[in-house]
C-alpha cells in the first residue's frame, strides 16, 4: 500500500472519530442530520479499521486494535440514546445512557461504598478462599483415590444446589454482613475450579512423568516441577469461569439480607422505588468490575502460560 493511501485512510479514520465524538457531545435532540452524520462517521471508521489490517506502519494497526472496540461501544451508546429519546421510552423501562451517566456522576460515594462492600469484601475474598480451598482439596484428591471417589460426587452435588436456595441459609449462618456473601461465593466458585485443577493434574504426558521417574523425583517434586505447570491452562480456565460466578454470587446473595449498602441491596431496593437510573448505574459498575476481574485473571494467565500454544503469538 502506498504512503498516500495510508495517509488518506488515516485522515478518513480521524474524521470519523472526531465527528463521532462531536455528535456524542452535541446530541440533544436527534434529527435526520444527526443520524446521517452518525452513519457517515461509522462508515469512515469501519473503512479505517478494515484498511489498517496488514498495514506497513504497525502504529495504525495497533491504535486501531484499542480504538475499534471503544468506537463500537460508543456507537451502541449513541444508538441507544437516540432511540430512547426519539421514541420517548419511559425512563422506568429504559433510561437513556446520558441519564445513567448523570446518575453515576451524582452518586459516586454511594456507588463506591456498594462496590467496596460487594466486590472488595464479598466477591474477591470469596473467590480467593474458594480457589485456595479447591487447590488443597484437588491435591488431597490426587493423593487418595478414596477421596477422588468420595469427594468429587459430593462437590458435584453441592454445585448443583440452586444459589437462590443456598444464599438465605448461608445468610442465616454467617450473618447479614459480607461474610455470608463471601461464603456464597466460595460455594459457587469452589467446584468449577476443583474440577479444572483435577483435570489439569492429569494433563501431563506419560513420557514426561516417566522422565521424572528416571530422575528419581519425589511426588512433590513431580507435582511442583511438572504436573502443576502442565495444569496451568486448565486451572486458569476454571479461574476465569469462577471470576464471573463470583460477581453473580456476591450480588445475588445480598437479595436475601444485607446491611443497608451493597450492590445487590441497592439494586433490589431501587427497583422497588422505581429508581431505575440507580439500578442501571449499579449494573454499569458491576459490568466494569466483572470485566476487570476477568481481565486481571486473563493477564495473569498470559504471563503464567506464555508457553502454551494458545498464548504464543
Partner 1 sequence: MWLENGLSWMKDTMTQAVIEAKGLNLVFQTADGPVHALKDVNLTINPGEFVSFIGPSGCGKTTFLRAIAALEHPTSGTLTVNGMTPDEARRKRAYGYVFQAAGLYPWRTIAGNIRLPLEIMGFSKAEMDQRVERVLDLVELSGFGKKFPWQLSGGMQQRASIARALAFDADILLMDEPFGALDEIVRDRLNEETLKLWARTGKTIGFVTHSIPEAVYLSTKIVVMSPRPGRITDIIESPLPKERPLEIRDSREFIEIAHRVREGLRAGHLDE
Q: What is the dihedral of CA 212, 234, 229, 188, to 10 degrees?
A: -110
Of 178 and 236, nearer to partner 1 (C-beta) is 236
Q: How far apart are CA 291 and CA 257, in angstroms?
A: 26
Q: Which of 39, 53, 210, 292 is in the footprint of partner 1 by CB under 8 A? A: 210
* 216: contact with partner 1 by CB under 8 A: yes
Dist. CA 246–CA 310, nearest whole Å = 25
Local structure of 279: helix, strand or coil = helix
Q: Is 212 in the site for partner 1 (CB under 8 A)?
A: yes
Q: What is the DSSP letter of 305?
A: S
Give dist(CA 168, CA 163) in Å, integer: 9
Identify whether the C-beta of residue 124 lies closer than 8 Å to the C-beta of residue 134: no
Considering all CA atoms of the chain, what is the largest pairwise distance in Å, rounded to the nearest integer? 77
Quick one: which of 93, 214, 272, 310 contacts partner 1 (CB under 8 A)?
A: 214
Interface mask (CB under 8 A) for partner 1, residues 230-249, using x and -? Answer: x-x-----------------
Among 211, 274, 287, 296, binds partner 1 (CB under 8 A): 211
Residue 313 contacts partner 1 per CB under 8 A: no
**Interface size with partner 1, residues (CB under 8 A):** 22
At closest approach, how far in Å is the CB of 207 from partner 1?
5
**Residue 217 makes contact with partner 1 by CB under 8 A:** yes
Q: Which is nearer to partner 1, 156 or 202 (CB)?
A: 202
Nearer to partner 1, 233 or 262 (CB): 233
Q: What does the DSSP assignment read for 193-220?
A: HHHHHHHHHT-S-HHHHHHHHHTT--HH
Of positions 1, 205, 219, 300, contacts partner 1 by CB under 8 A: 205
Residues 6+ apart with CB under 8 A from 96: 80, 81, 84, 85
Contact 181, 253 (CB under 8 A): yes
312 three-state secondary structure? coil
Closest CB to partner 1 among 221 and 291? 221
307 binds partner 1 (CB under 8 A): yes
Nearest residue (CB) to partner 1, 5 versus 225: 225
Query: % helix / strand / coil in the chain, to the nearest 5?
Result: 85, 0, 15
Tell me whether residue 236 or residue 280 sits nearer to partner 1 (CB atom): 236
Could you say whether residue 300 binds partner 1 (CB under 8 A)?
no
Binding positions for partner 1, rule: CB under 8 A: 205, 207-208, 210-217, 221, 225-226, 229-230, 232, 305-308, 312
Amino acid at each position: 500500500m502506498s504512503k498516500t493511501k495510508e495517509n488518506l485512510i488515516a485522515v478518513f479514520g480521524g474524521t470519523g472519530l472526531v465527528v463521532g465524538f462531536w455528535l456524542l457531545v452535541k446530541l440533544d435532540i436527534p434529527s435526520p442530520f444527526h443520524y446521517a452524520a452518525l452513519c457517515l462517521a461509522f462508515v469512515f471508521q469501519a473503512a479505517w479499521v478494515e484498511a489498517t489490517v496488514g498495514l506497513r506502519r504497525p502504529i495504525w494497526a495497533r491504535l486501531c486494535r484499542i480504538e475499534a472496540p471503544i468506537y463500537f461501544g460508543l456507537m451502541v451508546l449513541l444508538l441507544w440514546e437516540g432511540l430512547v429519546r426519539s421514541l420517548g421510552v419511559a425512563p422506568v423501562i429504559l433510561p437513556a445512557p446520558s441519564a445513567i451517566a448523570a446518575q453515576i456522576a451524582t452518586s459516586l460515594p454511594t456507588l463506591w461504598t456498594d462496590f467496596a462492600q460487594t466486590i472488595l469484601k464479598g466477591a474477591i475474598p470469596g473467590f480467593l478462599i474458594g480457589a485456595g480451598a479447591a487447590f488443597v482439596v484437588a491435591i488431597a484428591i490426587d493423593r487418595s483415590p478414596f477421596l477422588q471417589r468420595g469427594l468429587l460426587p459430593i462437590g458435584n452435588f453441592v454445585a448443583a444446589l440452586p444459589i437462590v436456595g443456598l444464599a438465605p441459609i448461608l445468610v442465616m449462618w454467617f450473618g447479614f454482613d459480607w461474610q455470608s456473601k463471601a461464603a456464597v461465593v466460595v460455594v459457587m466458585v469452589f467446584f468449577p475450579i476443583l474440577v479444572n485443577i483435577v483435570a489439569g493434574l492429569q494433563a501431563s504426558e506419560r513420557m514426561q512423568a516417566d522422565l521424572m521417574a528416571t530422575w528419581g523425583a519425589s511426588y512433590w517434586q513431580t507435582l511442583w516441577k511438572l504436573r502443576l505447570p502442565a495444569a496451568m491452562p486448565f486451572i486458569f480456565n476454571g479461574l476465569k469461569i469462577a471470576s464471573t460466578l463470583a460477581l453473580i454470587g456476591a450480588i445475588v446473595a445480598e437479595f436475601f439480607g444485607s446491611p443497608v449498602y451493597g450492590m445487590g441491596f441497592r439494586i433490589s431496593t431501587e427497583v422497588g422505588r422505581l429508581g431505575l437510573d440507580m439500578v442501571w448505574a449499579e449494573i454499569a459498575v458491576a459490568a466494569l468490575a466483572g470485566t476487570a476481574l476477568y481481565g486481571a485473571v486473563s493477564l495473569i494467565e498470559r504471563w503464567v502460560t506464555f508457553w502454551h500454544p494458545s498464548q504464543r503469538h
